Structure 1
Amino acid sequence: MKGELKHYLWLLVVVALVAAVPLVTSNDFYLRIVFLIGVNYIAAAGLNVLVNYTGQKSLGHAGLFAVGAYAVALLTARWGWNPWLAFAMAGVLAGLFGVVIALPALRVKGPALAMVTIGFGIVVEKIVSEWQDLFAGQQGIYGVIPLNFGGQMFGTRQWVWFVLILCVLLHVMFRYLLAGRFGRAFLAVNTAEVAAESVGVSVYKFKVLAFVISAFTCGIAGALIAQQNQYINSDFITFNLSIFFLLIVLFGGNSVYGPLLGAVVLTLLDSLLSRWPDVQHFTYGALLLFALYAMPNGLAGFVRTLARKFAPGLVPKEALPDALPAWQLKRAATSGEASPVLLDGKGLYKAYGGVVPTNNVDISIKPGHVHSLIGPNGAGKTTLLNILSGIVTPERGTILLAGQNIVGVSPNRIARLGLGRTFQNLRLFSDMTVLDNVKVGLHSHIPAGFFASLIGVGKARKAELAARDEALQILERLHLRDKALDIAGSLPYGLQRRLELARALATHPRLLLLDEPAAGLNPQETQELIQVIARIRDLGITVLLIEHHMDLVMAVSDHVIVLDYGQKIAEGTPSEVQNNPRVIAAYLGTEDEQDALDDDMTGGQHA
């Protein structure tokens, strides 16, 4: 609460200083620079969500700027719309174009995505240049009606104040949005898409949402320029403008304050170098390289590092409640477990060319039990878990989870149906705090919609506080409470394994899939894991685990399933499987060495 108050006091000071600029000077050049800083911040604030938070690179946002600018120009100058209504419509139209770009573009990644957005920008630039009858090319559209108040058209001072109001509103809304469940989901998508899906975050939906947000703010920026100039032509829409917006975001850094810092520095630099275009372009290129390599966290990250070192009071850690009741699984997560079978897979088959890691496998998981899936390396265990969790779609077969068919269902929907999982190779959101990692796991259980999260008060605020408390309760269950505010990637390996388990528990699973949870753990940590799995079962959660540590398998399992070359060769109680000749043959290549297998299964060695 103290941090919030301090933030708003500083914001009030900055707003007062900027608002005073038009009162102390009437110089249009200076006022124009302040106006442009605001416009560039508005464009970059949304692009920051797309680039820095969601990890999508766009080099075509000049096209979305053009959508907003030409929309307001045509609606007011040609079709006589009210300028305020046209201004709002410009943002909406740009947002719709954002959807149009995102739906096909997000089927590709990395450089291919950047090329798609470049293509969109070039197409828009050509259309406004060549379609003379509608867009008037370089001649441009004159008579764009500016905003007005009380019948009086905005002058330069009014434009500065209006843009300042928009900037403050956007800053406050983005601060709330990015500090809540949506911001965590964006970062999760950026860091580990498969892990994000496994906790109920729709990667595709959040990528599209990020595109729409960035398109909306870019369209608003274009509308502001067109209405303030009362004119727009094709010279405004260039590839360099897309580069400039991207540079603001990258140079500013991954923070809600990054776009503001980038907009101030680069707008001032742009004004200083405007007389020397060649030097200007060279400077942009140098700064882009600097931002990408020498200062990967941007100017905001650099300032944050200095503040933590020399003025830690400016970035205080979140205050956490001291005592909370023990965490309990939600009733909804255990509903339907009266059925004798929680998950029922029949005839599951998946081939990769000539390799068949899952060959007509049947698997039945009973509620309330710990099931173990064992087998030699390459037996197809992880592939089967990926099929059950929706990451891999089987070529044939059926899977019923609590009576619902989940074949072909997206992993995020399967997670919301009550299937949680961990991964053989750790997939934490390593740059987020331990607490935020668990909050991402709670994503589907936080009742705060997009617009409520933008406002950040009322229901959304209560939901965030409740999520924080529940995340702390889960961390307490796994003895990670004292690490809540640490960065996840800084934890020792054993604690990272436990954190991934805590994040999976936060989804309130009916069935929890654990893919080699003891991998990399020392003997003491393995013994602690045995106790953790027992406590999870006591909570009413059914467990299916893959494990090579046979002492762990024997200690926690009610039922063991054995795979070899993609086929189920045995199942039963641990003792039954331990003495099964086919299992012995699969592990040792002979049926005459049962004693050696017994030693392996009771001595804790790796199979």
Structure 2
Amino acid sequence: MMRSEFKHYLWLLVVAVLVAAIPLATSNDFYLRIVFLIGVNYIAASGLNVLVNYTGQKSLGHAGLFAVGAYAVALLTARWGWNPWAAFAAAGVLAGLFGVVIALPALRVKGPALAMVTIGFGIVVEKIVSEWQDVFAGQQGIYGVVPLQIGGQMFSTKHWVWFVLGLCVLLHVMFRHLLSGRFGRAFLAVNTAEVAAESVGVSVYKFKVLAFVISAFTCGIAGALIAQQNQYINSDFITFNLSIFFLLIVLFGGNSVYGPLLGAVVLTLLDSLLSRWPDVQHFTYGALLLFALYAMPNGLAGFVRSFARRFTPGLVPKEQLPTGLPAWQLKPSAGAASAGVLLHGEGLYKAYGGVVPTNNVDIQIRPGHVHSLIGPNGAGKTTLLNILSGIVTPERGTIQFAGHGIVGVSPNRIARMGLGRTFQNLRLFSDMTVLDNVKVGLHSHIKAGFFASLVGVGKARRAELAARDEALQILDRLHLRDKALHIAGSLPYGLQRRLELARALATHPQLLLLDEPAAGLNPQETQELVQVIARIRDLGITVLLIEHHMDLVMAVSDHVIVLDYGQKIAEGTPAEVQSNPRVIAAYLGSDEEEDGNDATGGPHV
């Protein structure tokens, strides 16, 4: 166990012991009830934190999922005679299933529309429990909910505090493992840049659904706790204000595994203090929500983290990275090139209204070569790359990659098949470290499942350490190791370009698509890029390059393809293309337009 982990668990033990001592120090039910509510609110917010802060999905309907858990445990125990422990577990599972039900239609929309869908779900649930009297009893409610018990003895208030404390500690440890590993990085990648996440093998849809399920499960557990502790539930518990309260805890707490705890402590205490004045209470919620969104976007956790780094840096030690690692090597590819062709596109066509950026283009990429795709601005080069990588689906045409048809296949699956890429406009995960950016590239090569990642030991731990070491090897290949713990967005532009290339290499591509990698680089950085591309080819990776810098194209290319107005007008060796009259005309205009211009050196941009 590393020193930082030991310190974390030591502090966790100290806090847990102090909280566990509260029921021994006082028998005041009001105080114990507040401690219990802090724990319940933390449980609900801990999962919602994954959805909102990590995955970037705003939900205003989680009171409905709270209701699913509460009414599930009420009906199962009071009406159908279930064991209270079995009902408690079933309530969380049922809420998780409802999370899938919400996620599948909700994720077809984004932003405010997504929030409206979740609001709709919450309102529907509120209406059902209010109006369906025969089942849910409306405001009258369901009495006789069987509480948790041990040895036939029902939990007292102090037992509830200890039980919720145990659940909170367990959830905190599991979420800390989950969010510091493969799954946490994938959630953040989806939040930051969905297209880039797909390009390295992360399924955006899968991780959004998973985040909804996690948040639904914890909200369902929170609802079950309230119903069983009160031994009663009615429709007054299920209001839109409850959804707002949960969201406020998450936003006010901040983007951290500790955020929900900080938010739950502060806002539960504030809620109890202002409970006598509902109007002031609601005004305070609104004011705090605005404050959290605009004045303190990183929340309490971000403020505490910044304060600690500035005044007590020893409390936030930097990760110790291993040295002396061997040189990185590409993994052997599972796919095979067919008849010496790695990728074969035929008759590719894509139109946007009257604009046709890809017009019946045929393309063949042979393994082991550097191919360049050139042409004037607007020739359709990036559209063709987007088609090859699955971001854009052609209206007609076929693509065979490593023996498999990939038209209509999702970009994340294409990436896992061995096709990596960079982007014309940088798409880094800018708030993550350099090291974590490369680890995201390794996502599909880290063999640790969801439940193993929750536990965080054994196979998952070994896989995470192996991913760290491999990411460092890749960074070393591109001379970025000394920047490993820097925030990606803080790097100079040229190093950010190189980092995006390192992330693409981490996918272990057979074919690497580079979309204007020299854009924005100075002459020295451009010359260094020539050497980098040569080293990539030497690793056994085939490259397809879009570039306007003709010196770079001529220096690294084995084969050049020229597009103009969406059509392929020439291809061949750099020398053949450079002297092709149609290429010269495409860059410099017709003979009449060339008067007074020297075209003897071929096309220049």
Secondary structure of 1:279's aligned partner: helix
What is the CA deviation profile of residues 6-63 of structure 1, one whole-angstrom value per residue up to 9, with x for unaligned ones? 0000000000000000011000000000000000000000000000000000000000
Match of 1:601 in 2: 599
- 1:323 is displaced (CA, Å) by 1.3
SS of 2:540's equivalent in the other structure is coil
> What displacement does 1:465 show?
0.2
Tell me the alpha carbon deviations over residues 84-117 of structure 1, each in whole angstroms, 9 at most, x when there is no partner: 0000000000000000000000000000000000
CA contact (8 A) 1:428 1:500 kept: yes
Render the CA deviation track for 1:194-253: whole Å, top value 9, x for unaligned.
000000000000000000000000000000000000000000000000000000000000
CA shift, 1:604, in A, is 12
Q: Is the 1:551–1:604 Cα contact (8 Å) retained in structure 2? A: no
Give 1:150 shift: 1.1
1:332 deviation in Å? 2.6
Change (3 A) 1:603 1:445: farther
Report if the CA contact (8 A) 1:581-1:591 is conserved.
no
CA separation of 1:195/1:171 partners in 2, compared to 1, >3 Å: closer, same or farther?
same
- What is the root-mean-square deviation of aligned Cα atoms in Å? 1.5
2:563 aligned partner:
563
Q: Distance in 1 between matches of 2:600 and 2:521?
A: 18
Shift of 1:505: 0.2
Q: Which residue of 1 aligns with 2:578?
A: 578
Where does the alignment leave 5 or more consecutive residues of structure 2 unmatched? none
Q: What is the CA distance between 1:591 and its match in structure 2?
A: 4.1
Match of 2:592, SS state, is: coil
Asked whether 1:486 is paired with 2:486, we answer yes
Please name the residue that 1:528 is paired with: 528
| Alignment coverage as a number of residue pairs | 603
User: Given that residues 550 and 604 in structure 1 are in contact (C-alpha distance below 8 angstroms), is that contact kept between their aligned partners in structure 2?
Assistant: no
Q: Which runs of 5+ in 1 are unaligned?
A: none
How far apart in 1 are the matches of 2:379 and 2:217?
A: 50
CA displacement at 1:322 relative to structure 2: 1.5
Alpha-carbon distance between aligned partners in 1 of 2:174 and 2:295, rounded to the nearest angstrom:
31
Report how far residue 331 of structure 1 moved.
1.0
1:549 and 1:604 in contact (8 A); partners too: no
8 Å contact kept, 1:584–1:593:
no
1:294-340: CA deviation from partner (whole Å, max 9, x where unpaired)? 1000000000000000000111111100110000000136754873x
How far apart, in 1, do the equivalents of 2:402 and 2:271 lie?
60
Residues 337/295 of structure 1: CA separation in 2 closer, same or farther (3 Å cut): farther
- Output the CA distance in 2 between the equivalents of 1:223 and 1:105: 25
User: Would the aligned equivalents of 2:588 and 2:603 in 1 still touch at CA under 8 Å?
Assistant: no
Contact 2:248–2:285, Cα closer than 8 Å, also in 1:
yes
2:584 and 2:602 in contact (8 A); partners too: no
Contact 1:550–1:602 under 8 Å retained in 2:
no
Closer/same/farther in 2, CA of residues 600 and 6 from structure 1, 3 Å limit: farther
For 2:150 and 2:315, the matched residues in 1 are separated by 39
**Identical aligned pairs, as a percentage?**
90
Deviations 1:432-460 (A, max 9, x none): 00000000000000000000000000000
2:182, 2:227 → 1: CA distance?
A: 35
- CA deviation map 1:256-307 (0-9, x unaligned): 0000000000000000000000111111111111100110000000000000
Distance 2:336 2:319 in 1: 35
- TM-superposed deviation, 1:555: 0.1
C-alpha distance in 2, partners of 1:354/1:14?
A: 65
| In 2: Cα distance, 1:188 partner to 1:367 partner | 30
Are the counterparts in 1 of residues 578 and 602 from structure 2 also a CA contact under 8 Å?
Answer: no
Instruction: Please tell me whether the aligned partners of residues 578 and 603 of structure 2 are also in contact (alpha carbons under 8 angstroms).
Output: no
Contact map agreement 1:551 1:601 (CA 8 A) in 2: no
Whether the 8 Å contact between 1:549 and 1:605 is mirrored in structure 2 is no
Q: CA deviation at 1:523?
A: 0.2
Shifted more, 123-132 versus 324-333: the winner is 324-333
CA apart distance, 1:542: 0.1
Deviation at 1:470, TM superposition (A): 0.2
1:456-535 aligned at under 5 Å gives the runs 456-535=456-535
Cα distance, 1:592 vs structure 2: 7.3
Paired with 2:462 and 2:604, the residues of 1 have a C-alpha distance of 47
* Shift, 1:593, TM fit: 8.4
* Matching residue of 1:50: 51
**1:360-371 map, 5 Å:** 360-371=360-371
SS of corresponding position for 1:548:
coil
Distance (Å, rounded) in 1 between the aligned partners of 2:452 and 2:598: 56
Give deviations 1:518-567, integer Å, cap 9, x for gaps: 00000000000000000000000000000000000000000000000000
1: CA distance, partners of 2:397 / 2:324 = 48
Taking the aligned partners of 1:594 and 1:536, their CA distance within structure 2 comes to 38
Verify the 8 A CA contact 2:103 2:209 in the aligned structure 1: yes
How far did residue 71 of structure 1 move? 0.1
- Displacement of 1:594 in angstroms is 8.4
